[in-house]
Each structure stands twice: as C-alpha cells, then as structure tokens.
Amino acid sequence: MKVAVNGDSLELPPERSLVQLLEQLKLKPELVVVELNLKILKREELANTMLKEGDQVEIVHFVGGGR
C-alpha cells in the first residue's frame, strides 16, 4: 500500500496502524504530532487508526534546545 509521509511516497504492508508507522520511522508517539488527511489526531487515536491506500500523513516532531 502506498501512502505519503511528509510529502514522500512510502510503500507499507497492509493493515498498518499509525503507531506502527511511527515505530518503523523510529519516532516516539509522545514526541510527535500526527496529521492524517488534514486532521490532527490525538495521541490516543494513533494505535487504533489504520492507514489506507493513498493516505496523506504529516508528522511534526519537537526538537528541544535553547536557553
């Protein structure tokens, strides 16, 4: 199945949840915000949200630093 992640096409196996996608990308769910098809999801929705062919996923992760 093909989905777009931050504008890049990505081939995934079927039956993939957003949490599994984050794990594959080595991202921690508690450190990112996920938008699926223009809708920002709550963290508790990620495990139960299954990806579908053609989905558009945007992932923003926080970077600490500064003073």
Global pTM reads: 0.87
CA–CA dist 22, 34 (Å, integer):
9
Q: Is 55 contained in some domain? A: yes
CA–CA dist 46, 61 (Å, integer):
15
* Residues found in the chain: 67
pLDDT tens readout for residues 33-64: 999 999 999 999 999 999 999 999 999 987 77
For residue 11, the enclosing domain spans 2-61
Neighbours of 22 (CB within 10 A): 20
The enclosing H or E element of 54 equals none
Q: For position 37, which CATH number holds?
A: 3.10.20.30
CA–CA dist 64, 12 (Å, integer):
30
Mean pLDDT within 3-17: 95
The domain total for the chain is 1
Q: Is 67 contained in some domain? A: no
Percent of the chain with pLDDT over 70: 93
User: What's the confidence (pLDDT) of residue 65?
Assistant: 67
Question: What average pLDDT does the chain have?
Answer: 93
